[in-house]
Chain A
Amino acid sequence: MTDKTNDSEKKESNVTDAGKATKKPARPKKAAVKKSTKTAPAKKTAKKKAVTSSASKPAKKTPAKKAPVKKTTRARNVSKTDRIAFVTGLRTPFARQSTNYSDVSAIELGKILVRELLVRTDIDPMIINRVVFGQVVILPEAPNIAREIVLGTGMNIHTDAYSVSRACATSFQSAVSIAQALMTDDIEVGIAGGADSASIVPIGVSKKLAKILVKMTKAKTLQQRLKLLSQLRPAHLLPVPPSAKEPSTGLTMGQNAEQMARDHGISRQAQDEFAHRSHTLASQAWNEGKLDEEVIKAHVPPYKNTLEKDNNIRFDSNLDSYKKLRPAFEKKYGTVTAANSTPLTDGAAAVLMMKESKAKKLGLEPLGYMKSQAFAALDAKTDMLMGPSYASPLALDRAGVNLSDLTLIDMHEAFAAQTLCNMKAFASKEFARDKLNRASAIGEIDMDKFNVLGGSIAYGHPFAATGARIITQTLRELKRRGGGLALTTACAAGGLGAAMVLEVE
Chain B
Amino acid sequence: MSQSSTFSYEIITDDIAVITMDVPGENQNTLRDDFINEVDALFDELEKKNLTGVIFTSGKKDSFIVGADINMLSKLKTTEEVRALAAEGYRVFKRIENFKVPVVSEIHGTCMGGGVELSLACHGRVCSDHPSTILALPEVQLGLLPGGGGTQRLPALVGVAEALTIMTTGKNIRAKKALKIGLVDDVTDVLNLRKASIKRIKTLGRESLKEDTFDYKSLLSISGWQSLLLEKNQPGLNFLFQEARKKVNAKTKGNYPAPLKIIDCVEAWTRGNKEYGYEVEAKNFAELILTPEAKQLIHLFFSITDLKKHHFVSEDINPVEINNLAVLGGGLMGAGIALVSADKTDAKVRIKDISEKSVNHGLKYAWDRLQTKVKRRHLTKQQADEKMAKITGTTDFSGIQNADLVIEAVFESLELKHQMLKDIEIHCSKNTIFATNTSSIPISEIAKVAKRPENVIGMHYFSPVEKMPLLELIVIDKTSEQTIATAVDFGRKQGKTVIVVNDSAGFYTSRVLGPYMNEAGHLLASGVPVELIDKAIVNLGYPVGPITLLDEVGIDVGTKITPILASAFGERMTPPQAFMKLSQSGREGKKNKKGFYDYSYKGKKKRPVDESVYLDLGISPHNKMDPLVIAERCNLMLVNEAIRCLEEGILKSARDGDIGAIFGLGFPPYLGGPFRFADQFGIKRLIERLEHYKESEGDRFTPAQLLYDMEKSGETFYS
Residues of A at under 8 Å CB distance from B?
111, 115-116, 119-120, 122, 152-154, 297, 299, 301-306, 308
Instruction: Say if the beta carbon of B390 comes within 8 Å of chain A.
Output: yes
Pick the residue among B357, B367, B392 that contacts A116 (CB under 8 A).
Answer: B392
Contact yes or no, B389 A299, CB < 8 A = no
Q: Of the candidates B359, B386, B402, which one forms a contact with A299 in the assembled complex, judged by CB atoms under 8 Å apart?
A: B359
29 cross-chain CB contacts under 8 A: A111-B389, A115-B389, A119-B348, A119-B398, A119-B399, A120-B399, A122-B401, A122-B402, A152-B385, A152-B386, A152-B389, A153-B389, A297-B394, A299-B359, A299-B360, A299-B392, A301-B367, A301-B388, A302-B367, A303-B361, A303-B363, A303-B364, A303-B367, A304-B364, A305-B357, A305-B360, A306-B356, A306-B357, A306-B359
A residues in contact with B368, CB < 8 Å? 302-303
Q: A154 and B348 in contact (CB under 8 A), knowing A299-B359, A303-B364, A306-B357?
A: yes
B395 at the A interface (CB under 8 A): yes
Q: Chain B contacts of A152 at CB under 8 A?
A: 385-386, 389
Nearest residue in A to B348 (C-beta to C-beta)? A154
| Chain B residues whose C-beta falls within 8 Å of the C-beta of A299 in the assembled complex | 359-360, 363, 392-393
Q: Is B153 an interface residue (CB 8 A)?
A: no
B121-163 contact mask (Cβ, 8 Å, vs A): 1 or 0: 0000000000000000000000000000000000000000000
Which partner residue on chain B sits nearest A301 by CB separation? B367
B356 touches A308 (CB 8 A): yes
For B389, the chain A residues whose CB sits under 8 A away are: 111, 115, 152-154
Sample of 13 more A-B contacts, CB < 8 Å, known A299-B359, A299-B360, A301-B388? A116-B392, A119-B399, A120-B398, A122-B402, A152-B385, A297-B395, A299-B363, A299-B393, A303-B363, A303-B364, A303-B368, A306-B359, A306-B360
Number of A-B contacts (CB under 8 A): 50
Q: Which residues of A contact B394 (CB under 8 A)?
A: 297
Q: In chain A, what residue has the closest Cβ to B365?
A: A303
Interface: B350 (CB within 8 A) = yes
Name the residue among B359, B364, B368 with the largest chain A CB count within 10 angstroms: B364
Q: Determine if B364 and A297 form an interchain contact, defined as CB atoms under 8 angstroms apart.
A: no
Min CB distance A354 to B, Å, is: 19
User: Within residues 347 to 381 of chain B, which ones have a CB less than 8 A from any CB in chain A?
Assistant: 348, 350, 356-357, 359-361, 363-364, 367-368
| Alpha-carbon separation in the docked complex, A306 to B362 (Å) | 12
| Bitwise interface map of B from 418 to 455 toward A, beta carbon under 8 Å scored 1, else 0 | 00000000000000000000000000000000000000
Residue of A299, A302, A304 with most chain B CB atoms under a 10 A cut-off? A299
Closest-CB distance, A95 to chain B (whole angstroms) = 15
Q: Which residues of B contact A115 (CB under 8 A)?
A: 389, 392
Q: Which 7 residue pairs of A and B lie closest in terms of their CB atoms, listed nearest first?
A: A303-B364, A119-B399, A306-B356, A306-B360, A299-B363, A120-B398, A120-B399
Q: Are A297 and B350 in contact (CB under 8 A)?
A: no
Residue of B nearest to A152 (CB): B389
CB-defined contacts of B367 to chain A, threshold 8 Å? 301-303
Cα–Cα distance between A116 and B359 once the two chains are bound (Å): 14
Q: How far is the CA of A173 from the CA of B449 in the complex (A)?
A: 52
Bound Cα distance A10, B408 (Å): 55
A9 to B348, CA, bound (A): 46
Interface string of B320-352 (1 = CB under 8 A from A): 000000000000000000000000000010100
Distance in angstroms between the alpha carbons of A302 and B388 in the assembled complex: 12
* Chain A residues within 8 Å of B364, by CB: 302-304
Kindly list chain B residues whose C-beta atoms are within 8 Å of the C-beta of A153: 389
A119 to B368, CA, bound (A): 23
Contact A303 B386 (CB under 8 A): no
- Residues in A neighbouring B360, C-beta threshold 8 A: 299, 303, 305-306
How far apart are A87's CB and chain B's nearest CB, in angstroms? Answer: 15
Q: Could you tell me the distance between the alpha carbons of A313 and B364 in the complex, rounded to whole angstroms?
A: 26
Least distance between B302 CB and chain A CB atoms (Å): 39
Q: When chains A and B are docked, how far (Å) is the Cα of A122 from the Cα of B401?
A: 8
CA distance A303 to B335 in the complex (A): 13
Residue picked from A111, A115, A120, A306, most chain B C-beta under 10 Å: A306
Residue ID in chain A nearest B360 by CB atoms = A306
**Chain A nearest Cβ from B374, distance in angstroms:** 12
A305 to B359, CA, bound (A): 10
Distance of A305 Cα from B360 Cα, bound (Å): 6
Contacts of B388 in A (CB 8 A): 301
- Residues of B within 8 Å of A304, CB to CB, are 364
Q: Nearest chain A CB to B479's CB is how many angstroms away?
A: 29
Contacts of A111 in B (CB 8 A): 389
User: Cα distance A46–B132 when bound, in Å?
Assistant: 55
A306 to B356 alpha-carbon distance, docked (Å)? 7
Q: Within 8 Å CB of A302, what residues of B?
A: 364, 367-368
Chain B nearest CB: distance from A157 CB in Å?
Answer: 13
Contact of B390 with A154 in the complex, beta carbons under 8 Å: yes
Select A119's contact among B363, B386, B392, B395, beta carbons within 8 Å.
Answer: B392
CA distance A277 to B399 in the complex (A): 36
Which residue among B385, B386, B399, B401 has the maximum number of chain A CB atoms within 10 Å of its CB? Answer: B399
CB distance from A460 to the nearest CB of B (A): 20
Contacts of B392 in A (CB 8 A): 115-116, 119, 299
> Which one of A154, A301, A302, A303 has the greatest number of beta carbons of chain B within 10 Å?
A303
Q: A residues within 8 A CB of B402?
A: 122
Which residues of chain B are within 8 angstroms of A303 by Cβ–Cβ distance?
A: 360-361, 363-364, 367-368
Q: Specify the chain A residue showing the minimal Cβ separation from B350.
A: A119
B379 to chain A, nearest CB (A): 15
In the complex, the chain B residue whose C-beta lies closest to that of A122 is: B401
Within 8 Å CB of B401, what residues of A?
A: 122
Give every chain B residue within 8 A of A306 (Cβ-Cβ).
Answer: 356-357, 359-360
User: Does A297 contact B356, Cβ atoms closer than 8 Å?
Assistant: yes
Nearest neighbor of A124 in chain B, beta-carbon distance: B402
Q: Nearest-CB distance from A450 to chain B (Å)?
A: 32
CB neighbours (8 Å) of A122 from chain B are 401-402
B699 vs chain A, min Cβ distance (A): 51
Shortest CB-to-CB span from A295 to chain B, Å, is: 13
A301 and B401 alpha carbons, distance in the complex (Å): 26
Closest Cβ–Cβ distance, residue B406 to chain A (whole Å) = 15
With CB as the reference atom, state the residue of chain B lying closest to A116.
B392
- Provide the residues of chain B in CB contact with A308, threshold 8 Å: 356
Chain A: CB-nearest residue to B388: A301
Rounded to whole angstroms, the CA-CA distance of A305 and B357 in the bound complex is 7
Interchain CA distance A292-B362 in the complex, whole Å: 22
Nearest-neighbour CB distance to chain B for A145, whole angstroms, equals: 15
State how many angstroms separate the Cβ of A117 from the closest Cβ of chain B: 10
A239 smallest CB distance to B (angstroms): 24
Please measure, in the bound complex, the distance between the C-alpha atom of A120 and the C-alpha atom of B348, giving whole angstroms.
Answer: 13
Contacts of B385 in A (CB 8 A): 152
A303 to B394, CA, bound (A): 14
Chain B residues with CB under 8 Å of A120's CB are: 398-399
Q: How far is the CA of A297 from the CA of B350 in the complex (A)?
A: 14
Please measure, in the bound complex, the distance between the C-alpha atom of A122 and the C-alpha atom of B399, giving whole angstroms: 8
Contact residues in A for B356 (Cβ distance below 8 Å): 297, 306, 308
A153 to B390, CA, bound (A): 8
The minimal Cβ–Cβ distance linking B308 to chain A, given in whole angstroms, is 29
Q: Please, which residues of chain B bring their CB within 8 A of the CB of A154?
A: 348, 389-390
Q: Which residues of A contact B350 (CB under 8 A)?
A: 119
Cα A154 to Cα B368 with chains together (Å): 21
Residues of chain A lying within 8 A (CB to CB) of residue B359: 297, 299, 306
Residues of A within 8 A of B348 (CB): 119, 154
Nearest-CB residue, chain A, relative to B324:
A119
A133 to B367, alpha carbons, bound, how many Å?
A: 26
Chain A positions within 8 Å of B390 at CB level: 154
Distance in Å: Cβ of B338 to nearest Cβ of chain A: 12
Question: In the bound complex, what is the Cα–Cα distance between A304 and B393 (angstroms)?
Answer: 15
Which residues 674-705 of B sit at the A interface, judged by CB distance below 8 A? none
Q: How far is the CB of A68 from chain B (nearest CB, A)?
A: 49
Q: Are B393 and A297 in contact (CB under 8 A)?
A: yes
- What B residues does A119 contact at CB under 8 A? 348, 350, 392, 398-399
A299 CA to B351 CA in the complex, in Å? 12
Which residues from chain B contact A116 at a C-beta distance below 8 Å? 392, 399
Residue numbers in A under 8 Å from B361 (CB-CB): 303
